Amino acid sequence: MIRTDSMRGRIALMVAHCAGMIDLVALPVWVGTLVARHRFDPQQAGALATLFLAGAVLASVLLAPRFHRLPGRMVATLGFAISGLGFMLAARNTTFETLAPLHALCGLATGAALSMTHGTIACSARPHRLFAIVGAALGVFAVVFFAITPQVIAAAGGPALFVIFSVVMAAAALAALLAFPAPDGLGDAGPSVSAPLPRAVWFGIAGVACMALVQAMTFSFLERVGSDHGFGTSAVNGVLVALGLVNLLPAPLAALLETRWQARAVLLAGPVLQATLVAVVMNAPVFAPYAAAASVFAAVMIFTHTFAFGLLARLEPSGRALAATPAMMMIGAAIGPVLGGTLVKSSGYGSLSIAAAGIAAIAVFCFLRLPSSAPAVARSALA
């Protein structure tokens, strides 16, 4: 049996995390391509991304409570395989009416696979550390994605984006089939498998969802705001590559600081810093502050979420809450693109910074309800 502390198991989880969290990397290129290449307006482009994310939320909500009863390898393999097929079909279509159900299907399949991935990580011996490892892999993936994808789209057209998505999902399906690990700690969860989730966990879930909403709302239009402010395509693409390079740092840094920084303090600071960066990105009159803020924007979410994942894993050891990570991330992210597109269409880019400040205040309120620390959970992997 493959375990989460084996090299094969970790590689499979890294590949699955990168594929499942592709929205966290690709949203600016995704929405930008739908606007620039498929000629959708910002609201339509945001709605397509929202359909993908909403599908992931629905799958996660349905599967997370049943995580301990589901065959993780089978669900992950089939989920990524179906998503890969759906994106390949999307590459052959250009109408909103066809792309909409395909985005929803891909979201459902990806969300199912990602729920198994995150639930398995949550049941590992050191969930904070393992989530940091897969987060570092996502940073490497982001660098490669931003370095290659805009050039491929420029040469081959908008459908090439969906071909790339399909290849990523196919790679994840193969990795899951060959090496997806079994959860380590379900046997030690005991009554927590059926017990209600602690109240503090629900507040933590809500806070992460708020940060995900700000992330998606802003990230979807990161490329568009730079282009519309006249900073130039090459300069904006350079910022996206820099963003990918910066994203290599937050997950390893979070692993290094796991025992040095209090998780609750990190969670309280994260939404405030995130909203501040949104204000700079959306209102910067010149390139330099836009580039600086945009380059570190996603890193704040990755760093903060790693601490949130570790704290919630200690508060709720059965894996059910963190099997719902796609839901807590994407219920906010699902609303983000269409909300952002609606705000931009009606009130301009500056309105996103006002919305971000209000949502950040709600996130801080939720994180204040978390305990300053949580007991370590004994797991069979430590025995």
Options 1.20.1250.20, 3.20.20.30, 3.40.50.1820, 3.40.50.1970; CATH of 7-376: 1.20.1250.20
The fraction of the chain above a pLDDT of 90, given in percent, is 45
Residue holding tokens 């500056």?
350
Express each pLDDT in 285-329 by its tens digit: 899 999 999 999 989 998 999 999 888 888 877 777 788 777 777
Share of the chain above pLDDT 70, in %: 93
Between the alpha carbon of residue 345 and those of residues 49, 299, 338, the distances in Å are 16, 27, 10
Contact 131, 309 (CB under 8 A): yes
The pLDDT of residue 362 is: 96
Name the least confident of 38-52, 90-104, 262-276, 291-305. Answer: 38-52
Q: How confident is the model at residue 106 (pLDDT cuts 50, 70, 90)?
A: very high
- Cβ atoms of 280 and 229 within 8 Å: the answer is no
Confidence of residue 373 (pLDDT cuts 50, 70, 90): low
Q: What is the pLDDT of residue 191?
A: 44
Output the pLDDT for position 73: 94
- pLDDT confidence of residue 14: 96
Write the pLDDT tens digit of every residue in 60-100: 889 988 888 889 999 999 999 999 999 999 999 989 999 99
Q: What does the mean pLDDT of the chain come to? A: 87
Q: What pLDDT score was predicted for residue 195?
A: 64
Name the residue with higher pLDDT: 42 or 88.
88
pTM above 0.75, yes or no: yes
Q: Backbone phi, then psi, for 182, in 5-degree steps?
A: -85, 145
Residue 187 has pLDDT above 50, yes or no: no
Q: How confident is the model at residue 44, as a pLDDT?
A: 87
Adjacent-strand bridge partners of 182: 3
Instruction: Count CA atoms within 13 Å of residue 114 on its CB side.
Output: 32
Per the CB < 8 A criterion, the answer to whether 61 and 321 are in contact is no
pLDDT at 351: 92
Q: How far is the C-alpha of 293 from the C-alpha of 359, rounded, in Å?
A: 19
Domain range summary for the chain, segments of one domain joined by +: 7-376
User: What pLDDT does residue 366 have?
Assistant: 94
Q: What is the pLDDT of residue 54?
A: 87
Give per-residue pLDDT as tens, 344-372: 888 889 999 999 999 999 999 999 998 86
Instruction: Supply the pLDDT for residue 189.
Output: 46
Q: How many helices (H) and strands (E) are present in the chain, helices listed first?
A: 17, 0
Inform me whether the pLDDT recorded for 3 exceeds 50. yes
350/337 Cα distance (integer angstroms): 15
Higher local confidence (pLDDT), 165 or 184: 165
Q: What is the pLDDT of residue 186?
A: 52
